[in-house]
Amino acid sequence: MTKTLTRKASRASMPEATALYDIPGPVTRKRHLMYGIASTIVIVALFGWIVYLLFDTDQFTAQKWMPFEYKGIQELLLRGLGNTLKAFVYAAVLSLALGAVLAVGRLSEHRVLRWISTLLVEFFRAMPVLVMIFFIFVALKVQPLPALVAGLTLYNGSVLAEVFRTGINSVDRGQREAAYALGMRKTQVTTFVLAPQAVRAMLPTIISQLVVALKDTSLGYLITYEEFLHAGKLIASNLDYDLPFIPVVMVISPIYIGMCMLLSWFATWVAKRQRRNLKTRAVGVAPAEPGTLLPGGQ
Amino acid sequence: MDVLTENFSLYGKGFLGTVELTVYASALALVLGFLMASFRVAPVGSFRVLGTVWVTVLRNTPLTLLFFAVLLGLPRFGLVLPFQLFAVIALGCYTSAFICEVLRSGINTVPKGQGEAARSLGMNFGQTLSTVVLPQAFRSVIPPVGSTLIALAKNSAIAGAFSVTELLGTYKTLNELGYSIIWSFIWIAVGYLIITLTISAVFNVMEKRWGVAR
Amino acid sequence: MLRTRNTRTGRAAALVAGLLLAALVAGCGKDGSPPVKGPKAEALPVYQVDTGFELPDSRTWTKAKRRGHLIVGAKEDQPYLGEKDPASGIYSGFDIEIARMMAASLGFEPDTIRFRTIASANRETALQSGQIDYYVGTYTINDMRKKLVGFAGPYYMAGQGLLVRTDEDDINGPQDLAGKTVCSAAGSTPYQRIAADYPKATLVAYDTYSICVDNLLTYQVDAVTTDDAILLGFAAKAPDEMKVVGKPFSQEPYGIGVPRSDNALRNALNDALEANEKNGNWKKAYDATLGLSGAPAPTPPPIDRYPAT
């Protein structure tokens, strides 16, 4: 543990000056090294204390881990994971579609259409996604999976609509003007000139928003959709297995966090690749925001 | 309409519950987020690693999983606290990762020259940070911190499903009492709008007063 | 700089997740279910299927007949009452036996029932929307709920009780709780009743009763309170260590939830319950489940055939 921490630390040390401090001189470097060692010891001690607590409260007994050896339990967890991914795929595809529709609405020249789409986008971004899911599930009496997917779609679709809209608006003005000068109509300009450039530049932001959707599939647990966390709870709250809550968390969270990290990492990778790409020079897109409320809020 | 007037105290309790959760969790998130942000820009490597791990893990953890781990896992360590406190811890830690990133990018927007100028005037690290860098960073982070806290208020709805008194949870009681579900939800939605609009308004005022002209 | 490190941690985490997944998929697992605590009934009662049964007036019944099997809502976390084995997915317990008994009387093979876990908050919704044909799971009949769903039964008269360790002699009823620590589910009716009527007791709340029971066995709380049927089920897990004491201090008649408009089904279930109580099936079902706690079978409560509205 100590080794990896210090190795990482030395690799990460910043060679350049920031607004906060200059490049450290030899004395300061020595002092920083001392701080580093001291804090590493504290962090390792803290980590060790947690591990000690885990042992002390009998989290590693055979009885608590034994359920995971059984095929039935593994299949239960895998089925849960499959259901999580299923909800995610549905929600992702549908939110992209809804986002595109709402963005087109907001960019439309018909005033009514524009108002309606703006209203929808602003409302769904302002509502907690869980309130929407519960409303669909309880008040509209929809089954858990469609309720979860619908809730996620409405929220993420609205956020994505904003991303699409800013993406299209931020394409360099000359591109649009040139296309109009060639005699293209608005639909042609949007589909053949603006959208392709915007989408390419927006890709990282879109993927980051999909990470949010993936994380939020776990809300299905609260409406008894039989997803990953639900499977975990069923195992964890069983007296026969000595209530293995902590072992279940230790098995489930690396998988959940790993999936989300993989997707986040993909987003950064795409973003990095794009910074080198000439084709996206004309567009700059800000990251998606959870939602603003007052006009002129941001 | 009847739903609201006849159950005003129930709604009031839920509303207050959400407000309390939001306020306490925001305070925790801001403090922890500031701490982690200072770790992430610190010259000491192991602090940076700690800050980075904290942010990366929490940003990629589903909040429901975090609630599950904190509310059901921590008592297994013999740590039994009121549910509301657990909820504040879970929400606060989760949001602190986002606050940390906002603050860090705020600090990064301050041009290097500002720090160099301050140092050439003979200011030490503390002075540079408190009189030059932070005031400028503060101005540029007002809007993103505002929207992060709005997200926190919305996320607090999850606590209701873990037996904490808050706004969304009131639907259960109203449903048992036989009131119209649609209307109970409309008033719940209004409650959330009031909270999020208030946060938004507060941050708008702050932005107007101290924000950077752009 | 920072980005590259993020990527590396991301990759490492993904690798760990991948390995875990691979280990799971590889399926190097044992067959069957993990061992279970508590006694097991020697044999579950067998119910005679009424093959010629017809109920054309009931929409629920005709729909189920066309489908070929019944869909029944139940609980999944109450031992000996309504419990789902995580590994095999098989449901068992007293409520489940009642559901199977009813299925046989409605002309369905009990083994073909598809059970579905429905949380307490969603029972009415599930019945109203037709997700389930009927619901058997500690469902207390009351007038408020009668406005939303129909109730056959009651098939069992539960009441709030106290679960204590067998070596506990001081607690014989709620009046003895002063200064003791009592555990219940957060926000539940039993919790609120103790808080209001017995303020001298120290209350502890958890999300699930199994945690309360664990705390009872590890001497962190002195009693667990909720419906005695649920407590009997937990007591049956370890009859030597826990007992249910005192007289129930509330009345919770458990009914079978049916769609509100389906009076034909409600009446048929009432008839079926009465017949099964008479022919001894009801007692057999009790003895094979909740009876394992050591508590003798009570007389079933009279059936409430309230008029259709």
Count Cβ atoms within 10 A of the Cβ of residue A46 and give its class: 0-12 exposed, 13-18 middle, 19 or more buried: exposed
Structure tokens at A34: 């001392």
A250 in contact with B, Cβ within 8 Å: no
CB contact under 8 A, A138 and C122: yes
Helices (H), chain A: 2-12, 26-56, 62-65, 71-107, 111-126, 129-134, 144-169, 173-181, 186-188, 195-216, 228-236, 245-275
How far is it, in rounded angstroms, from Cα B44 to Cα A13? 8
Asked if residue C154 has a cis previous peptide bond (ω within 30° of 0), the answer is yes
pLDDT of residue C5: 47
Chain C contacts of B165, Cβ < 8 Å?
187
Contacts of A296 (CB under 8 A, 6+ apart): B204
Q: Residue C114: which of C130, C98, C91 has the closest Cα?
A: C91
The percent of residues in chain A predicted with pLDDT above 90, rounded, is 37
Domain that holds residue B145: 17-164
Give pLDDT tens digits for A162-197: 999 888 888 888 888 898 898 888 888 888 888 888
Phi, psi of C259 (to 5 degrees): -55, 140
Q: Residue C300: which of C266, C265, C275 has the closest Cα?
A: C275
Amino acid making up residue B165: T
Q: Which DSSP helix (H) or strand (E) runs through C223?
A: strand C223-227
What 3-state DSSP class applies to A155? helix
Q: Residue B14: which of B151, B199, B166, B168 has the closest Cα?
A: B166
Interface confidence, given as ipTM, is: 0.89
How far is it, in rounded angstroms, from Cα C261 to Cα A165? 49
Q: Which DSSP helix (H) or strand (E) runs through C206?
A: strand C202-206
pLDDT band at A113 (very low <50, low <70, confident <90, very high): very high
Among A7, A16, A20, most B C-beta atoms within 10 A, so best to mutate, is A20
Average pLDDT, chain B: 87
Judge whether B44 lies within some domain. Answer: yes
| Number of domains present in the structure of chain B | 1
The distance of Cα B140 from the centroid of its chain, to the nearest Å, equals 18
Matching residue, tokens 């500031």: B34
Q: What single-letter DSSP state applies at residue A14?
A: -
What 3-state DSSP class applies to A128? coil
Structure tokens at B135: 């005031």
Cβ distance B83 to B70 under 8 Å? no
Residues in chain C: 309
Chain B contacts of A217, Cβ < 8 Å?
62
Cβ distance A291 to C50 under 8 Å? no
B59 pLDDT higher than 80: yes
| Sign of the alpha-carbon torsion through C128, C133, C137, C138 | positive
C160-165 vs C242-245, strand pairing mode: antiparallel
Domain C59-158+252-293 falls under CATH 3.40.190.10: yes
Contacts of C13 (CB under 8 A, 6+ apart): A254, A257, A258, A261, A262, B60
C-alpha dihedral (B207, B21, B26, B4), degrees to nearest 10: -10
Cβ distance C98 to C285 under 8 Å? yes
- Entry pTM: 0.84
Cβ distance B37 to A29 under 8 Å? no
Among C129, C149, C207, most B C-beta atoms within 10 A, so best to mutate, is C207
Structure tokens at C165: 């360790």
Give pLDDT tens digits for A214-227: 999 999 998 888 89
| Sign of the alpha-carbon torsion through C99, C105, C108, C112 | positive
Structure tokens at C131: 């997700």
What 3-state DSSP class applies to A25? coil
**Span(s) in chain C for CATH 3.40.190.10:** 59-158+252-293, 160-245
pLDDT band at B73 (very low <50, low <70, confident <90, very high): confident
Query: What average pLDDT does this structure show over B36-50?
Result: 87
- The stretches in chain C having pLDDT less than 50 are 1-6
Structure tokens at A85: 């991914």
Q: Which residues of C230-264 are buried (b: 16+ CB within 10 A; e: fewer)?
A: bbbbbbbbbbeebbbbbebbeebbbbbbbbbbbbb
B36 in contact with A, Cβ within 8 Å: no
Chain C from 130 to 149: CB within 8 A of any A CB: 131
Q: Report the CATH fold assignment for C160-245.
A: D-Maltodextrin-Binding Protein; domain 2 (3.40.190)
Domain A62-280 falls under CATH 3.40.1170.60: no
Contacts of B172 (CB under 8 A, 6+ apart): C121
pLDDT of residue C9: 53
How far is it, in rounded angstroms, from Cα C223 to Cα C169? 12
Among C85, C114, C217, C220, most A C-beta atoms within 10 A, so best to mutate, is C85
CB contact under 8 A, A131 and B116: no
Cβ distance B18 to B156 under 8 Å? yes
Side-chain-side CA neighbours of C17 within 13 Å: the count stands at 20
Q: What single-letter DSSP state applies at residue C308?
A: P
Amino acid making up residue C235: A
pLDDT of residue B212: 67
Cβ distance B164 to B24 under 8 Å? no
Give pLDDT tens digits for C144-163: 888 889 999 899 998 899 99
Matching residue, tokens 């089904």: C265
Amino acid making up residue A77: L
Q: Residue B63: which of B94, B32, B85 has the closest Cα?
A: B94
C160-165 vs C223-227, strand pairing mode: antiparallel
How far is it, in rounded angstroms, from Cα C219 to Cα C181? 10
CB contact under 8 A, A241 and C34: yes
Question: Edge-to-edge strand order for the sheet containing C82-84?
Answer: C77-78, C82-84, C91-92
DSSP string spanning A170-206? TS-HHHHHHHHHTT--HHHIIIIIIHHHHHHHHHHHH
Nearest to A19 among B73, B133, B161 (CB): B133
Structure tokens at B58: 């929490």
Structure tokens at A144: 């858990």
pLDDT band at A280 (very low <50, low <70, confident <90, very high): low
How far is it, in rounded angstroms, from Cα A152 to Cα A99? 12
Chain A contacts of C90, Cβ < 8 Å?
none
C91-92 vs C82-84, strand pairing mode: antiparallel
CATH number at residue B69: 1.10.3720.10
A158 in contact with B, Cβ within 8 Å: no
Size of interface A-C (CB pairs under 8 A): 132
Give pLDDT tens digits for B4-20: 888 888 899 999 999 99
How far is it, in rounded angstroms, from Cα C231 to Cα C158? 10
Cβ distance B153 to B18 under 8 Å? yes
Angle among Cα B64, B70, B76 to the nearest 5 degrees reads: 135
How far is it, in rounded angstroms, from Cα C24 to Cα A75? 8
Q: Find the closest chain B residue to C149 by CA distance.
A: B178
Chain C closest-CA separation from residue A238 CA (Å): 7
Matching residue, tokens 């524009």: A114
Cβ distance C172 to C246 under 8 Å? yes
What 3-state DSSP class applies to C292? helix
Size of interface B-C (CB pairs under 8 A): 33
Task: Tell me the β-bridge partners of C74.
Answer: C117
How far is it, in rounded angstroms, from Cα C147 to Cα B139? 56
CB contact under 8 A, C205 and B162: no
Cβ distance A150 to A261 under 8 Å? no
Task: Tell me the β-bridge partners of C83.
Answer: C77, C92
Structure tokens at C56: 């054309």
